[in-house]
Structure 1
Amino acid sequence: MTTPLSNPQKRYLRGLAHDLKPVILVGAKGPSDALLAELDGALERHELLKVKFAADDRDTRDAWIAHLVEQSKADLVARIGNIVVLFRRSKDKPLIILPKA
């Protein structure tokens, strides 16, 4: 597991993610194995992305977010309503250079 992101790093990533559109949409049935595989590939390609959730129930949404973060081994950068920003450094070709912690 990597070291957790510092607050300045999260702030930097939030700034980069501001203009991004959600890449992954989690439907009313929640995250499936296929969705997790797609998320893994998207994180490997983009490193930073937004995920949008269709669940109206906050507890359900919180559980889904925790599940996605755990399964993808990504860092939760920000959460705004039904949208979360996830970051995971690419193993092959890192694109984003984080400021020093």
Structure 2
Amino acid sequence: MSLSQAQKKALRRVGHYLNPVVTVSENGISENLLAELDRALRDHELIKVKLALPERDDRALMLEELTRDGDADLVQTIGKMALLYRRNPQANPKLSNIARFENHHGRR
């Protein structure tokens, strides 16, 4: 799925308030990391990921792998932070960052 610029802008607005919930270290991507990524995307739909890798090229490759394996869309990267999105039609409104943001800030 490819997000439009308007969708990305709306998701960046929500993502601004988030803290990273998944951290990728130099150890790379493990089964446990992918399981945590899947759980976080399923529960929250929109998550911030910290890429604790010193080289920009390594972070880009890791991010490609994460978005592919996590079946997620890349919304934005800033430095070592990335914002990932995967829609969940059955998301729990108490856990979904998007639903919680809309409930708290009103739909705009």
TM-score normalised by structure 1 residue count: 0.88
Q: How many residues align?
A: 95
Is the 8 Å Cα contact of residues 44 and 91 (structure 1) preserved in structure 2? no
After TM superposition, the structure 1 = structure 2 runs for residues 20-59 of structure 1, keeping only pairs within 5 Å, are 20-59=18-57
The amino acid of 1:39's aligned partner reads L
Q: Unmatched 5+ residue regions in structure 1?
A: none
The secondary structure found in structure 1 opposite 2:88 is: coil
Return the structure number with greater helix share. 2
Alignment of 1:85 with 2:83, yes or no, is yes
Runs of 4+ residues deviating >2 angstroms? 91-97
Q: CA deviation at 1:91?
A: 4.3
% identical equivalent positions: 44
Q: CA RMSD in A?
A: 1.4
**Larger mean Cα displacement after TM superposition, 85-94 or 4-13:** 85-94
Is the 8 Å Cα contact of residues 78 and 85 (structure 1) preserved in structure 2? yes
Is the 8 Å Cα contact of residues 44 and 91 (structure 2) preserved in structure 1? no
